[in-house]
Structure formats: C-alpha cells, structure tokens
Amino acid sequence: MPLLQVVRSSRPFSWIGSTPNYLAILASLILLLVAAGHPAYADGPGQADLDEATLKKLTAQNMADLEKAIELCESALEKGLDDENTKYAEGLLTACLYEHASRLSRLIFDQRPLDPRWPAARRVALKHLERAVEVDPQMGSAQLLIARLQALTGGDLEKAQTAITTAIELLTEEPTELSKAYVIRGGISKDPEKMLADFDQAIELDPRNMDAWRVRGLYYMSQQQNEKALDDFQRLLESDPNDLAAHQAVAQTLQQMKQFDKALEHLEEVIQTKPNSSIPYKLKAQILEENGKLSAAIDSLNQAIRVSSQDLGALITRARLLTAEGQFDLAENDIDRVLQLNPQMPQAILLRSLIAAAQEKYDEAIGDLQQLLRLDPDNADIKVQMGTYYEFDKQPSRAIALYDEVLENKPDQWGVLRRRGDAYLSLGQQAKAVENYEAALKLRPEDSGILNNLAWVLATSPNDDLRNGDRAIELAERACEATDYKQAHILSTLAAGYAELGNFDEAVKWSEKAVEMDSDEEQLANELESYREKKPWRERQNVETENPTNDQTETADPQQDDSALKDAGLEDELPAEEETSTETNE
C-alpha cells in the first residue's frame, strides 16, 4: 500500500501528538515521493493540492497555516479526486476547520480579560464550523462548539438550540462530550424544570464535569435554594480548593442567606490561602457595603488594589463608595487611574459624571454623558440621565428634547413621563406638566412622587382651569399613605389641597406637621403663614434664562494587538403670579 494510503487509512490526524522526529521523517518522505512523481499521487487533478494540504497540516505552527491547509483542501475537492481521496480530503478539511475554530474559541472562552474583538473571532469560528458540518453533518463536536458560540451574548439562540439538539443526538457514545452538551442546553433553556433536568443529566453522565456542578449551583442560588447551592459549590471546592469562582459563589450564597458573619469568615480563609488575589477583598467590601459599613468596605478595597493595582473593578467600586462618603477628590483620582488604563470605559465615564454632578459641576457631568452618547447614540438611559442634569443646571428645554427622543421610541416609560412633567413645570407650562403626570400615573398609579407633583399643581396653580382641590386632596392622601405620612413635602401638598377648598383649619393642621418635620425649609413656613391668614398658596415656576450647553470631545480608542487574531485575519399659558426656584415641591 502506498505511503499516503497508509496514512489515510487511519482516522485523520488522530495521531498528531506523535513524536516530532517521526513527523519530520514522514513529512520528508512525502516530499520525496511528490518530487519523484510517485504513482500514489496520480489520483486526480486535485491530488497535488491535497498532498500540500497534508504537509501544511502536519507542520502547522499557527492559524494562518491552518487557513492555508483549508484553502488547499477546498481547492483539491473542487479540482477533483477519486472516491478514496475525496473521503480523505473531506476528513482533513473538517479536521482543519474544527482545529482553527477551536483555537479561536479559546481566545473567547479562556482569555481574561476578554479581547474586545471577540465577536469577530466568533464570526470566523462559526464560518469554519458551519462549513465543517456541511461537509460532515455527523460531526458532533463541531455542533457542540457551534451551540456554545451561538449561546453567547449577541448570538442566535435558535441556531444554538438546533445545534445542541443535533449534538446530543450524535454524542450518545461519548459521555464526557454529551455531558458538556447538556450543560449548554440547560443554560439556554427558558424552562426552569428542563434546565435543572439537563444539569442533573450532565452530572450523572460525567461527575467530573465541574462546569455542570457550577451551573447547577448557580441555578439553585437563583431559585433561593441556598442549601443545595452550597452543596454544589462545596463539591467544586473539593475538586479544587483554589477555585476562586467557587469561593466567590459560597460567599455570595451565604450573603444571600443573610449569614454575613459566615460569609466574611469564609472570605478571610480565602485571603489566608490566596493573599495575592483581589477577588476575596472585593467580595468582602461588597458584604460590608450591604451592611452599611462603607469605611470598612473602602479599607477592604484598598487591600484589593494593593494586591492588584490595575483592578478596574476595585477602583470603580472604591470611587463609587468614596463619592457616597463625599470624598470627591479621592474618587476622581480613582476614575483618572481607570481611564488611563481604559480611556473609553463607559462605567468609569458615567461614574465621573455622577461625581461631577454631586459637586454641582453640571457642565462637566453633561460633557461626560455627551461623550457616552457619541459612543452609544441610542442609549435611552444615558439620555434620561443627561436630561436630569439639564434640569438641575436650569436647562429644562434641553431636558425635554431628550425626554421627547426617549418617549418617541418607548412611550410607556412612566419615569421619563414624570421627568418631562417636572421639566415642563419648571418652565411654567403647567398644563403640559399635568398632561405628563396624568400619563405617568396611569402607568404607575401608586408612585408617591407622581401623586404628589400632580396634586401640587392641581392645588396651587394660578390657572383656574387647572386647579381641582378635591382631586388634589385625593391624590395627596394616596401619596401620604404610600409614605406613611412621614414626608414633609407631601404633607405640605395635602395642606395646599385643603387650602384650595377653603378648609384652612385642616390646611393649618397638616402644614404645621410639615413644618415640624422640616423646620429648616423656609417655604414650608411661608405656606403655613399663608394658611393662617386664610390665603391659599399659588405657585408657578419659571426658568427665564437657560444656561448654555456644554460639549466635550471624546478620547480616541487605543489600538490593541493579538497575534492569534492576526493569524485569523481579524484585523402658551398665564403669566406667573409668584415665581419660585426650579425645584418642585417634593
């Protein structure tokens, strides 16, 4: 039997792990045969390309070599081969396609931090895998990898479901791979019972599949079955005591069970065994923050950052806690460090805007959000946040323009309707404010803020056509009930409603309660004096001059490099009777 026929009689490249010397000798011998025009090579017009593809696969050093082997296999099949060599070429092609896709997939599943170009890597991997299963529909491993890639964010879940169903049918004789398939199918299932059944089956098939124990533990934790979750996570730790993700899951489960002391004890044990990891310090900070111990949480984050000075998550969290503590300069230092490492990290830019807003530097806060909108022009949350800053900065017209954009696409956003109502109110356009409050109230009938603001306008508007004392009282009472009669500004609204109806005894009673709760608020005292004089309160806000807008430019995104990716080629109403500040009575 000719040499190549001997090679091709075995499973294609199941022996690639053989000794380098053997491969070198084999490759040299094949080269000699080719050079001599050996008759074993006279099997069709595509034979020369197939031989070269074989050599390229044997000596492949990178994905570019695999790409060349794939190209040669495709060329050989297109030119024509005899039946035996066609079968061999198809096996070689699917082997090269699968290996190339597997290497790319490792860049996605095994690399941390994740390369931002991973979606491009997935596209190339899926292209090769789809070609592989086109050539060999019975290739279960390729179907499994297709499902795994499609199950990622932005993937096609229908295709993932189809591929995993096929993989499960094909892998019945391979329990280890079949176990992986059940984990994937459970992960994309929308039925909790079927999800659990798949995870159980995966563990039964391969008890050594730690991913199966992990996902089942996370499932139990999501279902508040914390004891079962702990059992599964402990199984992970028995297999690998240094599994930080499992330690994290144990601590988070104990935290969910409100066993904070136990969770902290567990983390202290982890710190003793893994002193150079920032993860347990960050988890400790999270638990301390939940218990209101912000200073202690910051201390724990200090330790995390000493261990890992470039831990962006720890820096971001510390900046947020420092902001809550009013330590704005230190918070800004942390954000600056983050943005030096990742100049366009949205979370950092957003937090920087919050820090600026907390110091009433609204122009800076707005500038940061403008930068984020340039990166993500359709982000409704950013538009709403920017609109809020415009309101604080006495630019309600610009706020309204942003709210209009959001509501054009999502008209049932009650929070945005409420905010637009507030903006119209600050412009003195009370009828439009009422219209927005009414629309928001239909969507959120028990929201105390909407109830209060609408009641306030109905009780205090200078416009006779807008006032409605009865409804103002009804709405204000609902707002009081929702807040257990413990909010001074809402009691003030109830008082204004009674004053509108001429019931000044009740108005004085509730106004006195409001002043008692917040004796430092001058307007509450003025309202009480008005009711004692038997005068109802009238108010229309009016921002006469708006501040100019602010623009900032964004920082360019630095280019990144990755040799593996290179190899893959991924290279009009009445005038106001009394004007007040722009703040609503809430």
Q: What is the DSSP string of 452-508?
A: HHHHHHHHH-S-TTT--HHHHHHHHHHHHHHTTT--HHHHHHHHHHHHHTT-HHHHH
**pLDDT score at 248:** 87
> In this model, does residue 31 exceed pLDDT 80?
no
What is the Cα–Cα distance from 343 to 572, expressed in whole angstroms? 46
Compute, in degrees rounded to 10, the torsion defined by CA atoms 81, 87, 93, 99.
Answer: -160
> In this model, does residue 14 exceed pLDDT 90?
no
> Would 468 be classed as within a structural domain?
no
pLDDT band at 547 (very low <50, low <70, confident <90, very high): low
> In this model, does residue 39 exceed pLDDT 50?
no
**pLDDT score at 548:** 56
What is the Cα–Cα distance from 151 to 126, expressed in whole angstroms? 12
pLDDT band at 560 (very low <50, low <70, confident <90, very high): very low
**pLDDT score at 43:** 60
Q: How many residues does the chain have?
A: 586
- Name residues whose C-beta falls within 8 Å of residue 485's C-beta, 6 or more positions apart in sequence: 491, 513
pLDDT (tens digit per residue) in 289-318: 999 999 999 999 999 999 999 999 999 999
> In this model, does residue 24 exceed pLDDT 60?
no
**pLDDT score at 546:** 59
| Alpha-carbon separation of residue 325 from 103, 289, 296, 385, 461 (angstroms) | 47, 12, 12, 22, 39
Top-confidence residue, 126 or 551? 126
**pLDDT score at 273:** 84
What is the Cα–Cα distance from 480 to 456, expressed in whole angstroms? 13
> Would 11 be classed as within a structural domain?
yes
Q: Which domain holds residue 97?
A: 1-136
pLDDT (tens digit per residue) in 243-288: 888 998 999 999 999 999 999 999 998 898 888 889 999 999 999 9
By CB atoms closer than 10 A (0-12, 13-18, 19+), residue 42 is exposed
Under a CB-based contact definition with an 8 Å cutoff, are residues 189 and 202 in contact? no
pLDDT band at 561 (very low <50, low <70, confident <90, very high): very low
DSSP E strand stretches across 260-384:
none
> Would 100 be classed as within a structural domain?
yes
Nearest to 98 by CA among 177, 205, 211: 177
> In this model, does residue 384 exceed pLDDT 80?
yes
As given in the structure block, the two tokens for residue 375 are: 């990166």
> In this model, does residue 129 exceed pLDDT 90?
yes
> In this model, does residue 13 exceed pLDDT 70?
no
Reported as type and span, the H/E element at residue 415 is: helix 414-426
As given in the structure block, the two tokens for residue 46 are: 């595509």
pLDDT (tens digit per residue) in 141-177: 999 999 999 999 999 999 999 999 999 999 999 999 9
What is the Cα–Cα distance from 45 to 207, expressed in whole angstroms? 50
Q: Mean pLDDT throughout 378-389?
A: 96
In the chain, the number of structural domains is: 1
**pLDDT score at 112:** 73
| Alpha-carbon separation of residue 430 from 149, 155, 433, 477 (angstroms) | 53, 47, 5, 21
> Would 4 be classed as within a structural domain?
yes
**pLDDT score at 557:** 40
Count of CB atoms situated within 10 Å of the CB of 212: 26
Top-confidence residue, 326 or 273? 326
Backbone angles phi, psi at 228, to 5 degrees: -65, -40
pLDDT (tens digit per residue) in 483-516: 999 999 999 999 999 999 999 999 999 999 999 9
> Would 68 be classed as within a structural domain?
yes
> Would 27 be classed as within a structural domain?
yes
> Would 13 be classed as within a structural domain?
yes
Three-class DSSP category at 251: helix
Residue 113: cis peptide before it, omega within 30 degrees of 0: yes
Which amino acid, one-letter code, is at 377? Answer: P
Which amino acid, one-letter code, is at 381? Answer: D
**pLDDT score at 323:** 96
DSSP string, 105-153: HHHHHT-SSPPTTHHHHHHHHHHHHHHHHHH-TT-HHHHHHHHHHHTST
pLDDT band at 559 (very low <50, low <70, confident <90, very high): very low
Q: Give the predicted TM-score (pTM) of the model.
A: 0.66
**pLDDT score at 552:** 41
What is the Cα–Cα distance from 550 to 389, expressed in whole angstroms? 12
> In this model, does residue 4 exceed pLDDT 70?
no
As given in the structure block, the two tokens for residue 57 are: 């696969």
pLDDT (tens digit per residue) in 444-464: 999 999 999 999 999 999 999
> Would 536 be classed as within a structural domain?
no
Which amino acid, one-letter code, is at 343? Answer: P
**pLDDT score at 111:** 81
What are the CB-based long-range contacts (under 8 Å, 24+) for 146-153?
147/181, 147/184, 147/185, 147/188, 148/105, 148/109, 148/184, 149/105, 149/108, 149/122, 149/125, 150/126, 151/184, 151/187, 151/188, 152/108, 152/122
* First-to-last C-alpha distance (Å) of the chain: 91
pLDDT (tens digit per residue) in 332-381: 999 999 999 999 899 999 999 999 999 999 999 999 999 999 999 999 99
